Structure formats: C-alpha cells, structure tokens
Chain A
Amino acid sequence: MSVLDFFRKASSPAPPRAAQPVDGDLFDDQFQKKLDSLAIVSRRVFAGRMRAERRSKKKGSGVEFADHRDYAPGDDFRFVDWNAYQRFGKLLVRLYEEEEDLGIYFIVDCSASMGFGGGKKFDQARRLAAALAYVGLSNLDRVTMVGVANEVVAHLPGSRGKATIFKIFRFLRDLSPGGTTDLADAITTVVAQHKRRGLAVLVSDLFDPAGFERGINVLRYNKFEPYVLHIVDPADGRPALRGDVRVYDCETGDEREVTITDALLAKMDGAYREYLAEIERFCAKNQVPYFAAPVDVPFDELVLRVFRRGGFLR
C-alpha cells in the first residue's frame, strides 16, 4: 500500500462493522424451559382466526359471558337468557367471548446504526426478538418476523407452534445491519401486507432521521398494538473520542468537524439522555408500552427479570 493509499483509506469513512453472527444456539434447553412458563400479556383483545389462550373481541362459543343482544330469528335457543326474559319480558341472547390465537409481529430494525458499536445493539435486538417469539409460540400465538431499514428487508410469514422457533432463529441469523433508517415507510409496507391486526413489537434503537414518532404512529393509526423495545447502547451517548475529529453519520454520511472536549461530551451525554426521555414521554403520552433494553444488561436478566418487573411477561 502506498502512502497516498494509506491516507486515502484513513480519511475515508470507515464502513460500519458487520454485526457479530448470532450464536447458533440462541437459547439452550434450560433457558427455553424458563421461557415456557411465560406468556405475553396482551392489554387488548384482538380477533383471531384460531382458538388460542387469548380472549378476542369476537363473541362466540366460549365459556366466559360477555354481553346480551336482542334475539333474532335463527339464533340458537340454547343461548337465550331465560332469566332475563322473566325479568324484562324480552328475548335476549347471551354472548360469550371466544378464546382465539394472537397475531404478534416482531419488527426488527436492521439499519446500519444497529450495527454500530460492534453490533451489540443488533445482537441484543435479535436475541430479544427470538426470546419473545419463543414465548409467543409457546402460547399458541401466530408469530410474524419482519426486518426493516428504510424498507422491508426480510420477512418471515406468520406461523404457529414451537417448532417454528428454529425457522425464526435462522431468519434472525441471516439478518445483517445496513442501510438507512425510515421506520415510517417500512412499517407502512408491513401494515399493508398484514391485514390481520395484532401486537407489533418494534425492536429498534429509534435512530430515525425522519423522527421516531412516525413509525410508531403508523402502527397506532392502523389499529396495531405497538410495543416499543428500545435497544439502548450507553456508548452512543458518551463516545470514547478526544481531540479534533470529523464526525459522520454511519447511515446518512452527514459530517461535521468538531473538537471533542469533556464539556462537549457532557453536553452530548445530556442530549442523548434527553432524546431517550423524549421517546419515553411520547410513548407514555400515547399509551404505547415502552421498554428500554440496554445492551450492557445481560440478555437473560433482561428477559426474565426486567420484563417481568415491567409487566411485559406474565
């Protein structure tokens, strides 16, 4: 390599490092047994096509009473509430909530920023998605996996049953971070592709130049129940930099010359925290469950303890 090549190489933006491949054995047997006892608690009831362990809005042949309605010719006489007829002199039919399966969509952010910092965020995101998917499958839910960046980059159609987890592992393993972030566009595509509403777990660092709100709002406005799993790397707020540097965005390439000082780093840390607080405020305001998942918190602890404490798992 010539000296010119060296300087050229040194001055050009370094390509983001590829994420570390997810370990083939994402969860060992012991870990899977622990997850078996957990199920996703859905704050709303969604309609489903198959019976499962969730309550749905669909009234039918379940065992739990839901409501009455006026009798109409053709209704099954077994559901006429004779006690109400004696009291009110009016034929009313009992309606029962029918238990059906729940559709869960894991929307995993695959943009370049997820691979920043050695791919720790991306690894954390994939492990969390895999774990939650396993829990969903264990509860007979239909799990759909989607990888997004500025568009949908990968898609695993919804399926049920624990055996599907291996397909999910394979799917997640094949993902790699890259490209810019445009959650709104990508999620709009996801929503259009999936008519059936359900739980949409957005696993992302929410570094969206167009604004993190837009992607979440797309889910909200389309009757999905969004869950925000915010992957947080503290190093993003306090980078290990000193001196005169030219910072550039690993996704957009936007650059800016800056001299890093302790004061600037403190300001940067403050701005980052403010950004996190902003996201949290938005979610709270719009009743969107928000969970911060720091990369430096051990994965199993995050799943088993932090999520349970936060009410995410039953």
Chain B
Amino acid sequence: MAFTGFSLGALALVFAATALAVTVLYVLKLRRRPVAVPFSAIWQRVLKEKEASELFSRLRNLLSLLLQLVLVALLVLALGDPRPAQGSSGGRDIVVLVDTSASMQATDVAPSRIEVARGKIREMIEGLSASDRLLIARMDASTVPLSTMTSEPSELTAAVAHIESTDTRADLGAGLAFALDVLRDAKHPEIVVVSDGALDTDLGRQLDLSKVQLRFTKVGARGRNVAITGFSVRRYPLDASRYEVLLEVTNTNDAPQEVELTLLGDGSVVDVSRLTLKPNERLPRVIADLGGASRKLEARIRLGDGKSDDLGADDHAYALMPERRRARVAVVTRGNTYLEAALLLDEYLDVVTLEPAAYHGDAGFDVTIFDGVAPAPPPGGGVLYLNPPEVGAPVKLGRALQDFGFDTWDRKSQVLRWMAVENVQVARGHALGAEPGDRVLGASEGAPILVQGRRDGRPFVALGFDPRDSDLVLRVGWPLFVLNVIHSFAEDDTSYVSSFRTGEAWHVPAPSGAVSALVRDPSGRERELPVREGRASLFGERAGFYELRARPDAAPQPFAANLSDPAESRIEPAAALELSGKKAAGPLEVRVGARKQVWALLVLFALVLSAVEWLTYHRRVTV
C-alpha cells in the first residue's frame, strides 16, 4: 500500500490534531438550548426515572466518541489516497490512439465519427478494471497526448472532451511509434486505435508490434464522398490583371457522380459548372482567363442531387490570389538598356534610375539593383547585384572566369523559375565567394556565379558577371530573371502559391523586419509565432483563410490552406486494421472490478458510519 496523497507522517499529524479536537469537543459541556415548559413538576417526575440510567448513558457517550474517532481516522486515511503498490496487480497499460484526421469529421454515423469515437472511449474508461491504466492520444498529422497514463476516470473523461478532429491526414506510423515509446517496459501493453480505418498502413518505418496487443475499434459505416483535392490560382505572368484557376475534383465512390462546382471570389459567385465524375475518377479542371479584383477564392462542390456527401471538410477549398501591388525599384547604373527594357515589361513596377554619383542610400524602395557598382545598400528591401565590384559587395569576388556557363543551377529556385540557363554563354566574369547560409543558385565548374542570401536581414541576389558580357540579355530568360528576383524580394509571386496544405509545417512570408507575428486561424483563434528569416512557421491543422499580422494594429496579410488529400478524402471505413501482416484484435475488453480508488471506499465507509451514527443519535442509542 502506498500513499499518493499526504505522507504517512502528515496523516498521523492530521489524525492526532483532529482526534484531539473531537475529544475536546466531547469533553466540553455543550451549552444547551433553553426551552420553556408550562409546568416543570411533570418533567421532574419523568427525569427522576432517567437519572437511574446515567452510568449507562455515559458508556453510550463513549461509544459515540469512539465512532467519531473511527470516522476521523477513515477521512484522514482517505486524504492519503492509499493505493495498492505498483506491480502488485496484473493491470493493463493501454494507449488509445484516437484518429482525429479529417475523415473523422464524416457524418455517416450520427452525429459524426469523432463524436462516436468519443463515446467509444468513454465506454472503454467505464470498462477499465481497478488496476488498468490508460493514456489517450490524438492522432492526426502529429500525435499529441491528451492525458497522462492514469487510472483516474475523471482525468481520462476530461481528456475525451479535448478530442477534436482536424483537417489533416492521420500519421499512423508516428502514432504507433509514440504509443510504443510510452509502453516501453510495460508488463501488459495494449494499443487501441480508434479510427475509421482510412489510414495509410504503409508505416514507412520499422515498428516492433510483436510485444504489444494491438486493437482496433472501428468507427463509421460507409463512405459516400466527393472531394476537391486540388485548388490553386495564378496570375498570368505577363498580364497580372487576369488569372486562371486549377481545380481537381475526385470521386471516391464506386458509382458515377454528378457534382455542381461553384467558384466564389471574395464571397461572390464567379463561376458555376456541373461535372460528371466516373467512379473513382480524379478530374482536373482549369478555369482560365478570369478577371476581377477578388483576392480570396473559394471553391465549393455539392452533389448533383442537392444532398450533402458524408464529409463536408473536403467540399470546400480556398486559395489566395497573389496581391498585385506596385513595387518600387531603384536602379543604380551607368546605363544598361537591357536592364531598363526588362523592367518595362512589368507595369506594376515604379522604376527610378540613378547614376551612381546621384545615389545616396535612399530608403523606401522594395528592390535596389546595383549594376556594376556596390555602394552602401539602403535600409530595407532586397538588393540585386549585377557584376559586383570587389569592394562593397556582400560576397567576395573569387577567381576570374572566362567563357563559361551554368553547369549546375537550382531548378527549384524562384529566381530561375521558367528559365533555361544551360545554354547561356558568358564571356567573362568572376566566381563569387558564398558564405555559410548563402544559397548557390548557379555555378560554373564548381565556382558559384549566382548566389542568394541575406546580410543583416536584408535579402540579396548576386550575379557574378555583367549580363551584357553574355547572351543572357538576348534570351527570353533575361526579363524573367530580373522580374523573378524583384518578385521574390517584393513577395509578389506569380506562381501557384495560392494555398498551403494542412498537416505540414508552413513557412509563411512575414513583413520584413518583423521578429514575431500574430496568426489568426479560420476559427478566429489567435496565436503569436516567431519570425525567422522573414517567415513565420506554424503547423497547419485547419483548412480555410488565415491572417498574419506583424503587429496587432497592422493590416492583416491573408493566406489560405486546404486539405487537398485524395487519400484522406477516401473515407470508406475499413473493417479491420492490418499492419505488417498482423491483424489488430477487436475492441478493448471490459474488465469489471473495483478501481484502485481506495480513498473513495474510505469516504463511502465514513459516510455509512456517519449515517449509522446519525441514526443512533436520533434514536438515542448512542446518547
């Protein structure tokens, strides 16, 4: 027996104090309530007989005192919360992994799968035996424990209330790894997966489930669902006033399905169309050449018969149109026609051209282009160095290069997007000395010639040759390169960046200079995030429109997130769970038995004794 509440010494002290108090109260003669009677002579007659039994009455008083002391002892013992010593019983250690992925929002079982899952877990808690311990963990894209490993029904019931589904997919492998870690060294370990079974059973890692009893509690009845599994929007690069939308609609049913697709821009209907999907078809659809000033785009589908499918979470998709604002560009050059021509292609640029002598480090520009010069950069904004000189450049000049080209380049870089640089010929230039943290976007024979990085928090891109010494300026890629660099600095992206995907870590561009940002999620909940290297990082769990602000009073910067997961939209529940050839057993067995809450029994016993004492007192047995 161990005391998890007060220690034995403290209990002895408390008992001594309370017992003393009770005894003193008994010894003290209580002042009785005065009551008038009309004729005391009659009372005298009766009380004469009573005096004879005074001794017996004292003995009964002693019995009453003993009863009170027993009551005190029971209550003091209950304060100690005594429990059977660990390991003395064959109790199970159970980890319940409750699937909180998007598919658990399905309403094929009333009111929803997640609610049914809550009910099943409550039943498990009620069916625990006295020595069982249980931990509840939420399993979606991440695994989060909601309780400790405990046998306290109150804590477990409170944890059940915190089970909520998210708009992410479930990572069963991570969940099982977590459960195995928790159950390490447990004598009777069990893992219960409460899920619809729409899980990726290819765990992608080696997990030893041989020593663990794996159980599966199925939730869900059917899976009639049509989903939007892809949704993005982009502006046309050369006509940013217009845009096109890419949608993908997936029918997860074995029967053809007709759906109505609605596209909304800032809440107003932009396009409505009806689609007929074959069984299990993923149908991409492009809605091209759309115009308007809408920023927030939302796509909705509903079944052709007007009814809802079983999962509403993937019937909506959100995208955000890249903002078109005019970027201020300062060009410090002694004259570069190619550069000026490239800048003319984007009507959203306000270009100021300066002679190097006229440049005084003026602020207020989103981008500054130094062509063959490298004076002190202005505060704020990005800088593009073209053929930087030895002094003043953020990177050191390396060896001189002759007749070279791009041998390697970063194909994923935004700066080189849509460009084919493998055939660019350069007459002369210099290798650039990239520092740790810099990103080499292009290199020739191992020597960096295009470097991207940050200095003092200010982004830069440096090109190690004069474009006019190459055929780059004659290629279509030249204006793309200049505009890509400007857009990357101004965060004005013309690519398909319209939404993030839930269940992943997001790195959201934050206003320059911010060290933290406030993010408001679609439910209206706000939290503060640190900003590192110009981006705020968060783990996205909800689909919808988010807002990011550097300061509470700053203008919000929206961004969107979608589930966009065809696997998660396939919500047909699985009859069984099979992992590595091992089939999970059925639901948790109910074991009836007294819980280890000895304190409750003690309090109960004290109550019974108190009731007996009350009864005997009023029956005048102990008085």
- The chain A residue with its CB closest to the CB of B29 is A257
B32 touches A257 (CB 8 A): yes
**Taking the complex as formed, is A64 at the interface, i.e. its CB lies under 8 A from any CB of chain B?**
no
Given contacts A244-B32, A246-B32, contact A205 B41 (CB under 8 A): no
A263–B57 CA distance with the chains assembled, in angstroms: 14
B50 touches A116 (CB 8 A): no
**Taking the complex as formed, is B52 at the interface, i.e. its CB lies under 8 A from any CB of chain A?**
no
Which residues of chain B in 1-56 are interfacial with respect to chain A, using CB atoms and an 8 Å cutoff?
30-47, 49-50
Per-residue interface assignment for chain A, residues 198 to 215, with 1 indicating a CB less than 8 Å from any chain B CB and 0 otherwise? 000000010101000000
B40 touches A248 (CB 8 A): yes
Which residues of chain B in 85-106 are interfacial with respect to chain A, using CB atoms and an 8 Å cutoff?
none
| Complex interface: chain B residues within 8 A of A245 (CB) | 32-35
A209–B39 CA distance with the chains assembled, in angstroms: 8
A245–B45 CA distance with the chains assembled, in angstroms: 17
A268–B38 CA distance with the chains assembled, in angstroms: 13
Which residues of chain B in 569-622 are interfacial with respect to chain A, using CB atoms and an 8 Å cutoff?
618-620
B46 touches A268 (CB 8 A): yes
Which residue of A12, A116, A117, A252 contacts B34 across the interface (Cβ within 8 Å)?
A12
**Taking the complex as formed, is B427 at the interface, i.e. its CB lies under 8 A from any CB of chain A?**
no
**Taking the complex as formed, is B67 at the interface, i.e. its CB lies under 8 A from any CB of chain A?**
no
**Taking the complex as formed, is B212 at the interface, i.e. its CB lies under 8 A from any CB of chain A?**
no
Output the least CB separation between B613 and chain A (Å): 14
Interface of B is mostly: mixed
A261 touches B620 (CB 8 A): yes
| Complex interface: chain A residues within 8 A of B41 (CB) | 207, 209
Given contacts A256-B47, A262-B620, contact A13 B34 (CB under 8 A): yes
**Taking the complex as formed, is B209 at the interface, i.e. its CB lies under 8 A from any CB of chain A?**
no
**Taking the complex as formed, is A36 at the interface, i.e. its CB lies under 8 A from any CB of chain B?**
no
Which residue of A207, A246, A261 contacts B38 across the interface (Cβ within 8 Å)?
A207
**Taking the complex as formed, is A284 at the interface, i.e. its CB lies under 8 A from any CB of chain B?**
no
| Complex interface: chain B residues within 8 A of A275 (CB) | 42
| Complex interface: chain B residues within 8 A of A263 (CB) | 620
A207 touches B39 (CB 8 A): yes
A51–B362 CA distance with the chains assembled, in angstroms: 141
| Complex interface: chain B residues within 8 A of A264 (CB) | 46, 50
Count chain A residues whose beta carbon lies closer than 8 angstroms to a beta carbon of B.
43
Which residues of chain A in 184-206 are interfacial with respect to chain B, using CB atoms and an 8 Å cutoff?
205
Which residue of A14, A117, A205, A256 contacts B40 across the interface (Cβ within 8 Å)?
A256
Output the least CB separation between A153 and chain B (Å): 18
A246 touches B43 (CB 8 A): no
Interface of A is mostly: mixed
Count chain B residues whose beta carbon lies closer than 8 angstroms to a beta carbon of A.
24
A248 touches B35 (CB 8 A): yes
Per-residue interface assignment for chain A, residues 97 to 123, with 1 indicating a CB less than 8 Å from any chain B CB and 0 otherwise? 000000000000000010011000000
A246 touches B34 (CB 8 A): yes
**Taking the complex as formed, is A272 at the interface, i.e. its CB lies under 8 A from any CB of chain B?**
yes
Given contacts A13-B34, A244-B30, A257-B32, contact A249 B40 (CB under 8 A): yes
Output the least CB separation between B198 and chain A (Å): 69
**Taking the complex as formed, is B69 at the interface, i.e. its CB lies under 8 A from any CB of chain A?**
no
A247 touches B40 (CB 8 A): yes
| Complex interface: chain A residues within 8 A of B619 (CB) | 261-262
Output the least CB separation between B616 and chain A (Å): 12
**Taking the complex as formed, is A236 at the interface, i.e. its CB lies under 8 A from any CB of chain B?**
yes
**Taking the complex as formed, is A311 at the interface, i.e. its CB lies under 8 A from any CB of chain B?**
no
| Complex interface: chain B residues within 8 A of A244 (CB) | 30, 32-33, 623
A222–B5 CA distance with the chains assembled, in angstroms: 85
| Complex interface: chain A residues within 8 A of B32 (CB) | 244-246, 257
| Complex interface: chain B residues within 8 A of A113 (CB) | 38-39
A236 touches B38 (CB 8 A): yes
| Complex interface: chain A residues within 8 A of B50 (CB) | 258, 264
- The chain B residue with its CB closest to the CB of A209 is B41
**Taking the complex as formed, is A241 at the interface, i.e. its CB lies under 8 A from any CB of chain B?**
yes
A247 touches B37 (CB 8 A): yes
A153–B167 CA distance with the chains assembled, in angstroms: 96
**Taking the complex as formed, is A250 at the interface, i.e. its CB lies under 8 A from any CB of chain B?**
yes
A272 touches B40 (CB 8 A): no
**Taking the complex as formed, is A62 at the interface, i.e. its CB lies under 8 A from any CB of chain B?**
no
A263–B31 CA distance with the chains assembled, in angstroms: 23
A108–B30 CA distance with the chains assembled, in angstroms: 41
B47 touches A258 (CB 8 A): yes
A288–B623 CA distance with the chains assembled, in angstroms: 45
**Taking the complex as formed, is A243 at the interface, i.e. its CB lies under 8 A from any CB of chain B?**
yes
| Complex interface: chain B residues within 8 A of A249 (CB) | 36-40
B620 touches A117 (CB 8 A): no
**Taking the complex as formed, is A254 at the interface, i.e. its CB lies under 8 A from any CB of chain B?**
yes
Given contacts A256-B43, A262-B620, A268-B43, contact A248 B37 (CB under 8 A): yes
Output the least CB separation between A264 and chain B (Å): 7
Per-residue interface assignment for chain B, residues 448 to 484, with 1 indicating a CB less than 8 Å from any chain A CB and 0 otherwise? 0000000000000000000000000000000000000
B interface residue numbers (CB < 8 A to A):
30-47, 49-50, 618-620, 623
Closest 3 CB pairs of A and B: A249-B40, A261-B620, A207-B39
In addition to A239-B35, A257-B32, 15 A-B residue pairs with Cβ atoms within 8 Å of each other are A11-B34, A205-B38, A237-B42, A246-B33, A246-B35, A247-B34, A248-B34, A255-B34, A255-B40, A258-B50, A261-B620, A267-B46, A267-B49, A268-B43, A271-B42
Query: 27 A-B Cβ contacts within 8 A?
Result: A11-B31, A12-B34, A14-B36, A205-B38, A207-B39, A236-B38, A245-B32, A245-B33, A246-B32, A246-B35, A247-B36, A247-B40, A248-B37, A249-B39, A252-B40, A254-B40, A255-B34, A255-B40, A256-B40, A257-B32, A258-B43, A259-B623, A261-B623, A264-B46, A264-B50, A268-B42, A271-B46
